[in-house]
Each structure stands twice: as C-alpha cells, then as structure tokens.
Amino acid sequence: MYLAEFILVFSFGFQILIWINFFSARLSRNSKEMESVPSSVLPVSVLICAHNACSQLAKLIPLIMRQRYPLFELVLVNDGSSDQTTMYVQELQKSWPNLRLVDHQKSGPGKKSALIQGLSQCRYELILLTDADCYPAGDYWIQTMVRCLNKNGDIVLGYSPYYRKTGILNRFIRFETCLNGIQYISCAIKGFPYMGVGRNLLYRKAIFDPVLFIPDIIFGDDDLLVNNLSSSATIYACSDPGSFVYSEPKSGWKEYFHQRRRHFAASTSYRIVHKLFLGSYHLSFLFSYLCLPFLFINPHFPWLFGLFLVRLACVWFIFARSARKLGESDLIAWFPFLEIMYLLWLLVHSFYLRRRPKNW
C-alpha cells in the first residue's frame, strides 16, 4: 500500500516538474505573411527523396517552386521508382531550371543511401528536407525556416502536422503529433534538443557526416542525425505557422501502427541521456494512471486524487496553450480521453513495437 502511494506521489510530482521545466516553452504566435526577403539570405537546397510518389509530387513540386525566396533549388532524388517520376520531373524541368533530378539505384530498404547521394548533389550550404507526401503551409515556408536559423545556427527543427479529417483515428494521430511536437520543440527552445522530423528540417551541409547514420537501422535518418548532433550543434526550433509542412494522415490503424514502429525503432538508438529522460517521463506517465485503482482502496484517497487532478490540470493547461499555437485547438477539449488512448498506445509500444520493421 505504501509503495503504491509513493509511486503515485512521485509520478504525479515528476510529471508536473517535467511539463513545467521542459515542455512549457512559449511557442511563437501566428505571424503575418512576410512581404519582403532580406537581401543577405543564403541560398537553399530543398532536398526530397521519393520512391514511387509521382502522384504526390504532382501536388508538391508546384507548391515548392512558387516559394517566395530569392535563390533556391529543388533537388529530387528518384529513389528507384518504377512509376512515371522521371518522365514527369523531366517535363517540369523545361519550365523550372532550378528543379534538379538525381536518379538513385535503390539497393535496399530505407532511404539512407538516397539521402547521402542527394546531399552530395546539392549546390548550396543550407539543406531543407521534406518528404514527397508533405506540403508547405504557404509560400513563405523556406523563408520562415531560414529566418529561424539565425547567424550562428546549425539546425532548425520544423513542425509537420497532419491534415484534419473526421474520425477518432485522425484525432489521435494529430494528438500524438501535436504532443510530440510540443515536447521536442519546447526542449529545443530550452536548450535540450533530442529529435527532429525529416518532414521539415533545415541544417547546414557542413555538419552532415554519413557516419552519424546507424547502419542497422533503416529508418529515422534525420531524427538520429539531430540526436547525435544535439550536444555539438547549435539547434533552434521554429513553431511559426508559416513554417509548417502538412502531411496526409494514415487512414487505417494498421498503416499508422507500422508508421509508428519506424519512429520507435529510431528512438532506441538515441543518446543515453535522452533515453533516460524520455524513459523516465513515459514511465512516470504510465504509473500515474496504472496505479490509480489503488486510490479507491486507499485511506488517503482525497488528497491523492487531488494530486492527480493537479497533475491533470497542469498538463492540460500547458498542452492547451501550445496546441493553440500549433493550430490544434480542437484537440484541447478531448485531452483527457486522448491521453488515455495514448496510455494504451504506450503499452502496445512496450509489448510489440520493439521489433524493428524490415520494410520502408
């Protein structure tokens, strides 16, 4: 009984401290559209690796080519596609000379080798990464990300939400994405970066080193790059809505399950300090709920349940403040229910998702 009380009190307190000290950074407000670009901006290479994504590229490429930025190129790596990608891009090159095509012979799962070859072909110092199924929020995506770099920066972590659809799966996908975004962006703002998303990531070409990739992990290339450089590089985070890159969410639980396995596989190779931090946070979260049944048979039920409510109110308030800035206000009212779903999701992680996926 006393052990359960101790675990509950410690878990509640630890959760409150983590959210206040690490996840509570004030994200930027909605900015007005930029009307001018400083003449001193650096040229940018937008890099995309695509595999059988011709239909997505038909929507994405025009969005990138109309970006309001003075000097940039789009380097598209055709990663062993068997569709019409090559012919389609070659036709577009007649209208857009800053669109470049790099053919890569795919030799295995993942995109490590395609990314390395694409980087070697980029002409400019600043590399802005996204995926073929991602779409910039507006015409100032490149400009907004570059402005967040500052003079001494090496990396800018961007945010990549999912489009809003109907159904509980979509709401949960956006909740988990928003929750993760709040956490890694806030930690970066507070000087403790631990991850980024390759769907929206800017970095200087000079910091890239292929040896930072872990050979036996076929996913999470950009995620692990940020994690490995977290102590040596100057890393900023951009939460301006003009920098967002949207993605189409999965339409089925099985597809989403497979997608999340890929991220989990990468997280097992984080630096030890980050694994301890994230592991402690998630364990305290699990104990906060799994030990709740003991409250109802505990003589100290009133004050223990009161502490649980304090923890819930604190986390809910911080989440709500940041979710509004990330354009996910509709998730706020659903927070307690979605947090319970997230608890169940973590339990699934613990028992099944440790097996690394074999396919891209």
Residue 359: count of CB within 10 angstroms of its CB: 9
**Confidence tier at 302 by pLDDT (50, 70, 90):** confident
User: What is the phi/psi pair of residue 78, to 5°?
Assistant: -80, 100
Q: Which candidate, 317, 315, 321, 318, places its Cα nearest to that of 340?
A: 315
Outline where DSSP puts E strands in the chain: 44-50, 72-79, 99-104, 126-129, 134-136, 155-157, 201-204, 235-237, 245-247
Mean pLDDT in residue range 145-167? 93
Say how far apart CA 236 and CA 146 lie, in whole Å: 11
The model's pLDDT over 316-330, given as tens digits with 9 standing for 90+, comes to 999 999 999 999 999
pLDDT at residue number 354: 53
The top-level CATH class assigned to 44-251 is alpha beta
Mean pLDDT in residue range 81-96? 93
Residue 216 reports pLDDT greater than 70: no
pLDDT at residue number 214: 55
Q: Which two tokens stand for residue 103?
A: 């053919």
Q: Which two tokens stand for residue 203?
A: 């970095």
**Confidence tier at 19 by pLDDT (50, 70, 90):** very high
Kind of pairing between the strands at 245-247 and 134-136: antiparallel
pLDDT at residue number 34: 47
Kind of pairing between the strands at 155-157 and 235-237: parallel
Tokens 């007649």, residue located: 94
Residue 360 reports pLDDT greater than 50: no
pTM of this structure? 0.90
pLDDT at residue number 39: 45
pLDDT at residue number 87: 93
Q: How many helices and strands in the chain, by DSSP H and E?
A: 11, 9
| Domain coordinates in residue numbering, the chain | 2-24+272-350, 44-251
